[in-house]
């Protein structure tokens, strides 16, 4: 496969990220169709060149066409699955069986099983070569054409480089790796850590505390990655450390802003009820904690988030559990040293 074969792109999922990816594909010179589950969203894109439900205030390219018919995506040279993580398996299953490349743009584990998105999509589409797109990328900034760099993971180097050439352009720069596991772990766990960062912000615990929490959270991410077969250099790249820096450092992140609201005393159900977009970390926290327990990995920050979201733990109890942990050696951000160090 050469870059000339990636000329037609279908993006499945017209939320903020899917719409931004479709806008980016057009900037890369590709013929692009965007599949939307909602007829209202598709109509707004086609008639007004806008997606006010998910990207308010951003003008979309007039050549971007949206559809609610999955059949209209069948002739694409590559398909990007941009539905939320918990809907990715159903979306892949709804597609007619294909041997076209499927690029997974969701960030998360399957909540019920802890499985990676690639495992789920491979079951539904066994003939399709898979890739994963992840990294520090706020959808609104990318849709506006602001510079964005991400990681594109694909086991086949020829296909990986073709996808990079097909999707990349001056302000959207994908970097190819072959570590699909590492890219997915980084994108999933950072959402949980971002909720913790937001709690620290909302509770007014200070920037010292937030920097410490993010750094120790990175150590947790590295420990889980080591057990699941991720490469440390992947987790220290755009799809791990880079995405964590962006997501955990800004209230523009849905995960950080949710944590901030929790830290200020708001109720989780009320926060989620006021949102249209999915906050992935809410669904991922329990799966991450279950994976850590299954493999005997100490992940206290992620466990604290899971406790707050799913186990009736108060924020005071979660903070106390972290602050009362015994002093231990630092293992260099999780790159080396015993897996049980907290």
Told to judge if 190 belongs to the known catalytic residues of this protein, a careful annotator would answer yes
Domain end, chosen from 163, 178, 193, is at: 178
pLDDT at 328: 86
Range(s) of the domain holding residue 269 = 181-323
Task: Note the pLDDT tens digit of each residue in 240-284.
Answer: 999 999 999 999 999 999 999 999 999 999 999 998 888 999 999
Task: With beta carbons less than 8 A apart as the criterion, state whether 288 and 306 touch.
Answer: yes
Same domain, 147 and 31: yes
Whether residue 337 is contained in a domain is answered as: no
Q: Quote the pTM value.
A: 0.93
Task: Note the pLDDT tens digit of each residue in 217-240.
Answer: 999 999 999 999 999 999 999 999
Same domain, 125 and 248: no
Whether residue 341 is contained in a domain is answered as: no
Same domain, 171 and 187: no
Same domain, 256 and 157: no
Same domain, 158 and 31: yes
Same domain, 8 and 119: yes
Catalytic residue selected from 65, 107, 190, 328 = 190
CATH number of the domain within which 308 lies: 1.10.1040.10
Same domain, 193 and 206: yes
Domain end, chosen from 141, 160, 178, is at: 178
> Does the pLDDT value for residue 23 go beyond 90?
yes
Domain end, chosen from 144, 178, 212, is at: 178
Whether residue 306 is contained in a domain is answered as: yes
């Amino acid at each position: 496969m050469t870059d000339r074969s990636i000329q037609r792109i279908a993006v499945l999922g017209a939320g903020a990220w899917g719409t931004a990816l479709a806008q980016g594909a057009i900037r890369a010179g590709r013929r692009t169709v965007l599949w939307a589950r909602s007829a209202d969203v598709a109509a707004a894109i086609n008639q007004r060149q806008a997606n006010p439900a998910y990207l308010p205030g951003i003008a979309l390219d007039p050549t971007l066409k949206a559809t609610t018919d999955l059949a209209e995506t069948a002739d694409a040279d590559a398909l990007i699955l941009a539905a939320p993580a918990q809907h990715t398996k159903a979306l892949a299953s709804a597609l007619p069986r294909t041997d076209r490349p499927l690029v997974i743009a969701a960030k998360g584990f399957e909540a019920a099983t802890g499985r990676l998105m690639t495992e789920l999509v491979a079951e539904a589409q066994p003939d399709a070569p898979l890739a994963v797109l992840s990294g520090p990328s706020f959808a609104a900034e990318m849709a506006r054409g602001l510079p964005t760099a991400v990681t594109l993971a694909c086991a086949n180097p020829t296909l990986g480089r073709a996808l990079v050439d097909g999707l990349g352009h001056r302000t959207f720069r994908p970097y190819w790796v072959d570590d699909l596991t590492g890219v997915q772990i980084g994108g999933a766990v950072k959402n949980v850590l971002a909720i913790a960062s937001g709690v620290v912000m909302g509770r007014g615990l200070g920037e010292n505390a937030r920097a410490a929490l993010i750094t120790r959270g990175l150590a947790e991410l590295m420990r889980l990655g080591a057990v699941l077969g991720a490469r440390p250099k992947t987790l220290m790249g755009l799809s791990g450390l880079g995405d964590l820096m962006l997501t955990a450092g800004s209230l523009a992140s849905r995960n950080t802003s949710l944590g901030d609201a929790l830290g200020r005393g708001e109720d989780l159900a009320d926060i989620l009820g006021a949102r249209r977009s999915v906050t992935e970390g809410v669904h991922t926290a329990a799966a991450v904690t279950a994976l850590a327990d299954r493999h005997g990995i100490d992940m206290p920050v992620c466990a604290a988030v899971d406790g707050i979201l799913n186990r009736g733990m108060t924020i005071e109890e979660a903070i106390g559990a972290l602050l009362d942990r015994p002093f231990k050696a630092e293992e260099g951000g999780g790159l080396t040293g015993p897996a049980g160090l907290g």
